[in-house]
Amino acid sequence: MVALALTCVYNYVELQDVQDLLWEALWTVSNSFLDEQEKRNGMIGNIYSMGLALQALEATRKFYAPRKWDCAQAFSVVYAHNYQQPMAIAQVLPALVGRSYLDVAGLDCAATKNMSPGRQLPLSPMLGTHGIPRDLIQVHYSITNTLQGKHFQYSTSVTVPSGSTLLQVMEVAAEDNPQTFRPEPSQLSRSFQMEQASWGPYVTSIHGLAGSKEDRTYWQFLHAGDALDEGVGTYKPHDGEHIEAVFSTY
Q: What mean pLDDT value characterizes the chain?
A: 86
Question: What are the start and end residues of each CATH 2.170.130.30 domain in the chain?
Answer: 136-249
How do residues 47-87 score in pLDDT, each as one tens digit?
888 999 999 999 999 999 999 999 999 999 999 888 878 88
Architecture of the domain made up of 136-249: Beta Complex (2.170)
pTM, two decimals, is 0.60
> Could you read off the pLDDT of 139-190 as tens digits, one per residue?
999 999 999 999 999 999 999 999 999 999 999 998 887 666 654 444 444 5
Confirm whether residue 202 is marked as ligand binding: yes
Q: Is 91 annotated as a binding residue?
A: yes
Q: Which long-range contacts (CB under 8 A, 24 or more apart) does 187-195 make?
A: 194/232
Gap between the Cα atoms of 207 and 192, Å rounded: 6
What are the pLDDT digits (tens) for 83-141? 878 888 899 999 999 999 998 877 766 655 554 444 444 444 444 444 566 799 999 99
Helices (H), the chain: 2-12, 16-39, 50-59, 61-64, 71-79, 86-96, 110-113, 166-176, 178-181
Torsion, CA 118, CA 121, CA 125, CA 126, rounded to 10: -150
Annotated binding residue at 203? yes
Say which DSSP state 46 is in: -
Instruction: Give the pLDDT of residue 121.
Output: 43
Residue-wise burial string across 109-131, b where 16 or more C-beta atoms lie within 10 A, e elsewhere: eeeeeeeeeeeeeeeeeeeeeee
Tell me whether residue 250 is annotated as binding.
yes
The annotation status of 138 as a binding-site residue, yes or no, is: no
Please state, in angstroms and rounded to a whole number, the distance separating the CA atoms of residues 106 and 111: 12
